[in-house]
Chain A
């Protein structure tokens, strides 16, 4: 009765490539469309003032600044993208050839043409009134100090060049493509991480190295870039696939071996994080401490959003309550009461207070579902900030003036942790991050964690299973609140002052973006998300490695988020568990299909979902 099914692996996908297409055989409308989109985006970037504002940051001395780099990315990406062939069963795949290069060139040229057009418009019209960045400086940047016609020609040429090189990238074999990409990324990465590298090199007494690599006023030097590219390209060729094999081997380990490997990795990471700050200067430690504070916040929000599925848009409320209660309890200058507790004692009270506030806010909110819940949490986030800012409570919290002169965190009388010594702050943050990671990890695998996931998946059925959904959700809210309060208490001791303006709604959004970007419900993802977003781009008020980007941070956050939702909805680091499961699904399905084809498979007499004709 079982029907014969086609084999699962489709030979069409692995079929040899057909001959390259002729150079001019293009879907020109598609190229025009892609080029125009890129051109539009180029104009948008130019008018957002990015090229001008970022011109000061040199990437490769003396040829490339960050400002010009952002204008090169899109034509290149468009040129690369247009050569993409969708892999479909039964549709012929062509080898890459001159077609891709010509297409890339055309696509990039149109993209660059956007800037040519903009330069002409800039020279002839004054639209500065609605468009604040419509300035002679922008024109100057686009024309390289020459006449407008020069900009027309040069941007068409630059676009064509960038687009064509995107097409050329298609021509390379997988190995040389990987090497090329690694080389480019290494140089850009070195330029991006310049301050961090210099800082670390100082600590490790390797100034000689960074002095060669970087120019005096910033930027990678020409010879430095070449050497770096050669070294990284070589490494990419030598280490080809090693990393991937190692990771696959790790994912395939079973039981005890796997947990031993994991423990080893965690120990190694911990060792690096403990030793690294000793050799790092203030700047690096400050950066690490900021990233750590956001890791703490994101881990807390991850429990609420990632595990229990409660979209909390007002998470900053708990950060604020943690900061303010720590400030009131420890600072001598606190307006109303000033018990001047030691930080650790105060922390216990802070946890209790924040937990209670979590309960208080959670109780009405939890009964709502979906969109309504999100809106209400958003409201509560603002209410808490406005309360701290209000005249009504200024007798307690100082209103807009906030509370200042908060002492550092005194740890068992051994050491005093305050903002003047970022290294100690980082160690304190690290300790609390370790605690939060452990708690999240244990919770995820506990009975409570399973109940959270059940509520996230289907609240009604969870209730039918006997889960008290209201209590369980409330508990998620409270756990999230307490993890957030740790971050708040450290923040107060680190900065030494708290103001209502530190707890804007933007903070909630940034934390949520970190969680989504890194991978919801995944601890490693949350850490990676914080490192990338907060470390490189910077937090709401904390500068990142690319301090010049601070003005455009939100624009880039938004663009990253949109791209992420389209290209990688599972986040930066999808959990290993999920990847492995997906593997198993495929394997199990193959086995199942084979069984179907063979006839009866295994189970004797039990009902089987065989499809009957």
Chain B
């Protein structure tokens, strides 16, 4: 089973830049929500150090993809591969411990807990307390604002601050790849801009980021590559530049591509 066979487009456009094994990969994954076929033969490959995005409208299967990658939903067929290992049967905790972490949609902090407790919960599976303390310092370096709010309840923070805590909480698990669910959702335009800057900043520091977005122009402006998902199928798979220029991008978004 060669990669080129499974992902012809990705191989054609990107193969020369990447090491042989992707960090996180979906191989012709099918997933169901009850009887609904939510993901249909989805192939994705995320390589170390990349900033990639998955685009799609409502109910196109973006969040399902994230859940499947994180192990909160079991695929009906196909394989989820983490660093060369098939993890279909491994629980979420196994994958988190091996470096997959999600920043949930709408931040979803533990609102009645303090910022510190939120960060501690990000490091829930870790036991290396020295390293945890060091990572917390790194979060404070990244977001000095978070340190000021440490003993405050997370629910009392402003939207932008909550986003920082959400990212900080994810970073506390010492991840290798950060899955971001709709980072622009529910934020004011100025904050969306700031948020994408944050993501770029983390990416430049060496983090692999997989971002799921509706805001295609914004996401593609910072991403290396992207996929477009439509009713559970990957319909476009290209570099960010090509996708931005692609005439079908907007059309596929509105769900009209299939009828054309």
Chain A residues within 8 Å of B, Cβ to Cβ? 447, 450-451, 453-454, 457-458, 460-468, 581, 584-585, 588-589, 602-603, 606-612
A457 / chain B contacts, CB cutoff of 8 Å: 110-113
24 contacts between A and B (CB under 8 A): A450-B120, A451-B124, A453-B112, A454-B110, A454-B113, A460-B104, A460-B108, A462-B110, A464-B92, A465-B125, A465-B169, A466-B96, A466-B124, A466-B125, A468-B91, A581-B114, A585-B153, A588-B149, A602-B148, A606-B142, A607-B160, A609-B159, A609-B161, A609-B191
B144 interface residue per 8 A CB criterion: yes
Report B157 CB to chain A, min CB distance, Å: 9
B92 / chain A contacts, CB cutoff of 8 Å: 463-464, 466
- Please tell me if the beta carbons of B194 and A585 are within 8 angstroms of each other in the complex: no
B interface size (C-beta, 8 A):
45
The 4 A-B residue pairs with the shortest CB-CB distance, nearest first, are A609-B160, A466-B96, A603-B144, A457-B110
Of B96, B121, B190, which one neighbours A611 at CB under 8 angstroms?
Answer: B190
Q: Kindly state the separation between the CA atoms of A451 and B125 in the bound complex, as whole angstroms.
A: 11
B97 interface residue per 8 A CB criterion: yes
- Please tell me if the beta carbons of A465 and B121 are within 8 angstroms of each other in the complex: yes
Chain B residues within 8 Å of A, Cβ to Cβ? 70, 72, 91-93, 96-97, 101-102, 104, 108, 110-114, 117, 120-122, 124-125, 142-145, 148-149, 151-153, 156, 158-161, 169, 173, 188, 190-191, 194, 197-198, 201
B110 / chain A contacts, CB cutoff of 8 Å: 453-454, 457-458, 461-462
Report A575 CB to chain B, min CB distance, Å: 12
B194 / chain A contacts, CB cutoff of 8 Å: 607, 609
Of A467, A603, A608, A610, which one neighbours B124 at CB under 8 angstroms?
Answer: A467
Q: Which residue of A lies closest to B181 (CB)?
A: A464
Of B96, B149, B198, which one neighbours A465 at CB under 8 angstroms?
Answer: B96
Q: Kindly state the separation between the CA atoms of A27 and B108 in the bound complex, as whole angstroms.
A: 46
Q: Kindly state the separation between the CA atoms of A300 and B124 in the bound complex, as whole angstroms.
A: 25
Report B151 CB to chain A, min CB distance, Å: 6
Q: Which residue of B lies closest to A591 (CB)?
A: B148
- Please tell me if the beta carbons of A606 and B144 are within 8 angstroms of each other in the complex: yes
Q: Kindly state the separation between the CA atoms of A465 and B70 in the bound complex, as whole angstroms.
A: 10
A606 in contact with B117 given A457-B111, A464-B102, A588-B152 (CB within 8 Å): no
B191 / chain A contacts, CB cutoff of 8 Å: 609
**Apart from the given pairs A457-B113, A464-B104, A585-B156, 20 other A-B contacts in the complex at a CB distance below 8 Å:** A447-B124, A454-B121, A457-B110, A461-B108, A461-B110, A463-B72, A464-B72, A465-B169, A466-B92, A466-B93, A466-B124, A466-B173, A585-B153, A606-B142, A609-B145, A609-B159, A609-B191, A609-B194, A611-B188, A612-B190
A602 in contact with B97 given A457-B110, A457-B111, A581-B114 (CB within 8 Å): no
Report A463 CB to chain B, min CB distance, Å: 6
